[in-house]
Amino acid sequence: MLSREPIGSLKGIGEKTAKLYEKLGIFTVGDLISYYPRSYEIYGLPVPIGSLKEDTVWAVSSILTKAPDLVRFNRMQMVSAHIKDLTGSLQLCWYNMPYMRQNLKPGVPYVFRGRVVRKRGRLVMEQPEVFSLEDYKELAPSMQPIYGQTKGLSNKAIVKAQRQALAGRVLEREYMPESIRKAHQLAEINYAVEQIHFPEDQNQLFFARKRLVFDEFFFFLIGVRRLKEARKDQKSDYRMKPVPQVLKFQESLPYELTEAQKRAWKEIEGDLKSGLVMNRLVQGDVGSGKTIIALLALLTAALGGYQGALMAPTEVLAKQHFESITAILKEQGLPVRTVLVTGSMTIKEKREAYRQIKEHEADLVIGTHALIQEKVEYDRLALVITDEQHRFGVGHRERFSEKGKAPHVLVMSATPIPRTLAIILYGDLDISVIDQLPKGRSPIKNCVVDPGWRPKAYDFIRRQVEAGHQAYVICPMVEPSELLEAENVLDYTKSLKKALPSSIRVEYLHGRMKGKEKNKIMEDFAAGEIQVLVSTTVIEVGVNVPNATVMMIENAERFGLAQLHQLRGRVGRGKAQSYCILVNCSKEKGAGDRLEILNQSNDGFYIASQDLKLRGPGDIFGIRQSGDLEFRLADIFTDAALLKEASQEVNRILDQDPGLEAEEFAELKKRLDLDLGDRYEKLNL
């Protein structure tokens, strides 16, 4: 059982520092232990200078023959030193660190560790860390964790707190039956937790991670299976009949539905009138037209005398759905009343919205997860739709379905997951696939470039803005990291403002901003008041901005292909030709090969299947697919084989012992109840 002691109970963490941890979602010591590293720094043994390769991090051992030089240029100070051995020579550079000149003594042996680059035809190690031989011996060979950070809280501080938390924790009772651990070669749970933070070596890291990923899938799939059993052949109190106005509305659309849309709608319509509760997933690529299918279902419910609810993952997206649906209803003259419910509304506004819902003055309710708060009471809630399912887990689905008297449930997802995996992940749902794009949509033009192409990219963005369009630029990080080489939103925004004319408004967006700030930025971008938005992947689930025609993704090699495709889907939503620029900052051939798949195809399902083939079990470093369901560590593409193993195990166990009554499952049952309880508590359910 993870400790519920507040994070401030750890030595050295006062009230101010505790607030910084809270920004990372860490409130208790247990939360800290469950805050896994995002990647690892590998401290290898020193190598000969002649074996160094550029654009990678290495360690070399050497003695300075003379004191370093201090060079000044362009308001910058550079400390420079030269080292050599029998195999070659190397220049060392420290920028704006003049004190290094006094710190480094000739004739003393050091280990220098840093990134090696090629400048003017020779190798240079920039900003290297400096160690004594004794200090480096303690580190090498080892793997040191790198955690997600926030301003004011360094990786070093998090590592120190993590060591303290692990040393002082009460060891957990093993809950996974020994038969399962043996069958799947799973580590003991306490060993796995220690090794995921401070692995002895790469093999032990993989061993630890396998156990924790298996557990995540296992618990998730038990939740899915329980939902499936609860809903099996469940009779519905809301048996709907075809509504003439819905057919008329469909015929009045300025475009004809694609065959895939018609097929999905036919399946949904069949569910609604079957007399059984609908539990269906509509899986469609970005821009495939899922929203209009959802609206047809909502209108069928509302015009049949029932209530329908649509839950979006962000306030901005909920407001956009509300405004567009309200406008369509007014234009069509349909007698359907709508209401919006979001977390940022005032108490007075919420109270009035709750009243309208309870008294059925509202037929359609649109909002965020605020729709499943206890205070919301519905009247004849017959249909529940969740948009962008990968932001809502099993807990949300279950809670929302309990709000009415077993309403029909429709889930929409733009995450292109291969069908074999979708059947496992959404085992409680029937699946409809929309695999065609609406007519008239121009395919997005893609290109993969190296960092040297940036000036041309900026000029291209300038020309697109001058033509009246907008652009996104995605960076993998919010702010600079002391250990990770990657573009960050804050510094990039400053650079881009200098590179583009002052008439072009450039702003940034990231997940650590306050809700009101994020909403204001997205609303201004949607309104065309911001021309270029520099963002993290927080815009992966964003608003529909048809005027945005350029998506530029920095460090594209650090993202999974399926996520890159999701990001690319933010453009290409209007009539104008759209473009995606993928900046590959890696010189490894494999990274270029992966990005070339995205360059050659706009088909999300094809890309997802290729992603599945390319990402082997060892591919766990860098930035994982963000937003995938409820997983902290697991990745449905990298860990596809383990997902299938966990699925088979869950089905085997629950087929034999649905209530987990056997003695070997006693600890598992306790942990399962605890896990679900914690999850509901964190969701405020």
Predicted pLDDT of residue 268 = 97
pLDDT (average), residues 305-325: 89
The share of the chain scoring above pLDDT 90, in percent, equals: 56
* Interatomic CA distance for residues 296 and 273, integer angstroms: 14
Model confidence band, residue 398 (pLDDT cutoffs 50, 70, 90): low
Highest mean pLDDT among 151-165, 538-552, 573-587, 669-683: 151-165
Q: Is the pLDDT of residue 625 over 50?
A: no
**What whole-number distance in Å separates Cα of residue 119 and Cα of residue 350?**
61
Radius of gyration of the chain (CA): 27
Mean pLDDT (whole number) for 258-287 = 92
Mean pLDDT of 103-117: 92
Confidence label for 685 from pLDDT (cuts 50, 70 and 90): very low
Question: Cα–Cα distance between 329 and 335 in angstroms, integer?
Answer: 8
Which pLDDT score is estimated for 369?
A: 81
Contact predicate 561/582, CB 8 Å = no
Round to whole Å and give the CA distance between 581 and 446. 6
357 three-state secondary structure:
helix
From 148-157, 301-310, 621-630, the region with the lowest mean pLDDT: 621-630
Q: Does the N-terminal peptide bond of residue 141 adopt cis geometry, omega within 30 degrees of 0?
A: yes
Confidence of residue 600 (pLDDT cuts 50, 70, 90): confident
Q: What is the pLDDT of residues 427-441, one digit of tens each?
A: 888 999 998 877 767
Neighbours of 254 (CB within 10 A): 4
Helix H, strand E, coil C: the string for 345-376 is CCHHHHHHHHHHHHCCCCCEEEECHHHHCCCC
Q: Which band of pLDDT confidence, cut at 50, 70 and 90, is reported for residue 395?
A: low
SS3 letters across 420-446: HHHHHHCCCCEEEEECCCCCCCCCCEE
519 — pLDDT class (breaks 50, 70, 90):
confident
Question: pLDDT-based confidence at 387, cuts 50/70/90?
Answer: confident
- 3-class SS at 359? coil
Task: Record the tokens describing residue 211, joined without a space.
Answer: 């156990």
Rounded Cα–Cα distance for residues 391 and 313 (Å): 6
Q: What is the mean pLDDT of residues 54-62?
A: 89
The yes-or-no verdict on residue 630 having pLDDT over 50 is yes
What confidence score (pLDDT) does residue 654 get? Answer: 93
pLDDT for the residue 341? 93
Higher pLDDT pick, 293 / 605: 293
630-634 average pLDDT score: 81
Encode pLDDT of 145-160 as tens digits.
999 888 899 999 999 9
Averaged pLDDT for residues 330-347: 91
Q: Which two tokens stand for residue 223?
A: 């939740």
Region 380-402: mean pLDDT is 71
Q: Provide mean pLDDT across the span 154-178.
A: 94
Report the Cα 53 to chain-centroid distance in Å: 32
At 508, the pLDDT band (50, 70, 90 cuts) reads very high
Least confident of 121-135, 210-224, 541-555: 541-555
The proportion of the chain whose per-residue pLDDT surpasses 70, expressed as a percent, equals: 91
Task: Spell out the SS3 assignment of 18-65.
Answer: HHHHHHCCCCEHHHHHCCCCCEEEEECCCCCHHHCCCCEEEEEEEECC
Q: State mean pLDDT over 403-408.
A: 80
Main-chain dihedrals φ then ψ at residue 557, nearest 5 degrees: -65, -15
pTM of the prediction?
0.76
- Whether pLDDT at 179 is above 90: yes
Is the model's pLDDT at 511 over the cut of 90? no
3-state DSSP helix/strand/coil percent for the chain, to nearest 5? 45, 20, 35
**In this structure, what are the phi and psi dihedrals at residue 366, rounded to the nearest 5 degrees?**
-120, 135
Given a cut of 60, whether residue 616 has pLDDT beyond it is no
Residue 45: the pLDDT is 92
> C-alpha angle 109/111/116, rounded to 5°?
135
- For 283-292, 523-532, 607-616, 646-655, which range has the lowest pLDDT when averaged over its residues? 607-616
Sheet with 532-535, edge to edge strand ranges: 445-449, 579-583, 548-553, 470-474, 532-535, 506-509
Residues 6+ apart with CB under 8 A from 48: 60, 85, 86, 87, 88
Higher pLDDT, residue 316 or 457:
457
Residue 7 pLDDT > 50, yes or no? yes
Would you state the pLDDT for residue 11?
94
CA 105 from centre of chain: 46
d(CA 565, CA 546): 17
Contact 551, 468 (CB under 8 A): no
pLDDT at 238: 93
**8 or 511, greater pLDDT:** 8
* Backbone φ/ψ region at 333: left (φ over 0), alpha (ψ -120 to 50), beta: left
User: When comparing pLDDT for 516 and 399, which is higher?
Assistant: 516
519 touches 315 (CB < 8 A): yes
623 pLDDT band, cuts 50/70/90, is very low
Which is nearest to 597 in space by CA: 587, 582, 586? 582
Query: pLDDT at position 622, please?
Result: 40
The pLDDT confidence band at residue 542, using thresholds 50, 70 and 90, is low
Q: pLDDT tens across 14-31, in order?
A: 999 999 999 899 999 999
Reply yes or no on whether the pLDDT at 621 is more than 50. no
Domains and their CATH numbers in the chain: 45-140 (2.40.50.140), 237-434 (3.40.50.300), 445-614 (3.40.50.300), 646-682 (no CATH)
Measure the CA–CA gap between 632 and 534, rounded to whole angstroms.
Answer: 25
The whole-angstrom separation of Cα 448 and Cα 464 is 19
Q: Could you please report the per-residue DSSP string of 101-117?
A: HHH--TT-EEEEEEEEE
pLDDT over 50 (residue 573)? yes
Average pLDDT over residues 656-671: 90
Average of per-residue pLDDT values in the chain: 87
CA distance 82 to 89: 7
Secondary structure, 3-state, 628-676: CCCCCCCCCCCCHHHHHHHHHHHHHHHHHCCCCCCHHHHHHHHHHHHHH
CB 424 within 8 A of CB 647: yes
The phi, psi pair for 666, rounded to 5°, reads -60, -50
